[in-house]
Amino acid sequence: MPKIVDADQRRELVADAVFHVIAERGLTQASLRNVAQRAGLALGSVRHYFDDQAELMEFAFRVNSERIHLRALEKLEALEAEELPAEREALVEKCSGVLAELLPLDEPRRADAVVHMEFMLDARTNTLLSDAAQDDYRATGAVVGRVVLQLMESPLATKVLAPVDEAERLIAVLDGLSLRMVLQPAWSAPEHGLATLRRHLVDLITP
């Protein structure tokens, strides 16, 4: 009997190969040929699942974005399902634990962040990636906004917060930390990035 190939699994395998090529050699080297070679597939096999380079890049971008946000959403949903902590340190720890999934704090998250940055930069001029980039912005905004609401709803909050404004500020903090931690790891160690995030969350709920 012919071997049955799961199309979704094969497409994810190819996406993983895209991520490896981008991490090792940059987005410009993620050609169909190089990706096929990295995946251990014939070029024709890759073309069987993706019509062209543009379709492959958009799919890989969306997989990268989904993986990052699903990690955060898993922790966010657990936070929302529990009673909010009554101590400031515990609340900040819970909220920072959600947002930490958006930061390159270890090698898997750093690899995802490197690929994510390459895609986002390319989307600035590549209209074929613009829809995926907008969906990514919205996904990040949804996670961060829900964390801000958790802080606002806590009895520990002593400030009146503007949710949209604070979400935008928090996204800026996360983006800045991610950029520095990827580009200047010697100066921006994971523990420093996490400490900066926690200080920002403390400032949101205390004078």
HSE-up (13 A, CA, CB side) for residue 29: 13
Confidence at 2, pLDDT banded by 50, 70, 90: very low
pLDDT tens track for 78-135: 999 999 888 999 999 999 999 999 999 999 999 999 999 999 999 999 999 999 999 9
Confidence at 207, pLDDT banded by 50, 70, 90: confident
pLDDT tens track for 26-64: 999 999 999 999 999 999 999 999 999 999 999 999 999
pLDDT of 1 higher than 80 = no
Q: Which long-range contacts (CB under 8 A, 24 or more apart) does 195-198 make?
A: 197/96, 197/99, 197/100, 197/103, 197/173, 198/92, 198/93, 198/96
**Domain annotation for the chain: domains and CATH numbers:** 1-50 (1.10.10.60), 64-205 (1.10.357.10)
How large is the C-alpha radius of gyration of the chain?
19
pLDDT tens track for 139-198: 999 999 999 999 999 988 877 888 999 999 999 999 999 999 999 988 889 999 999 999
pLDDT of 7 higher than 90 = no
Residue 68 contacts residue 111 (beta carbons within 8 Å):
no
| Residue 1 neighbours by CB under 8 Å, 6+ apart | none
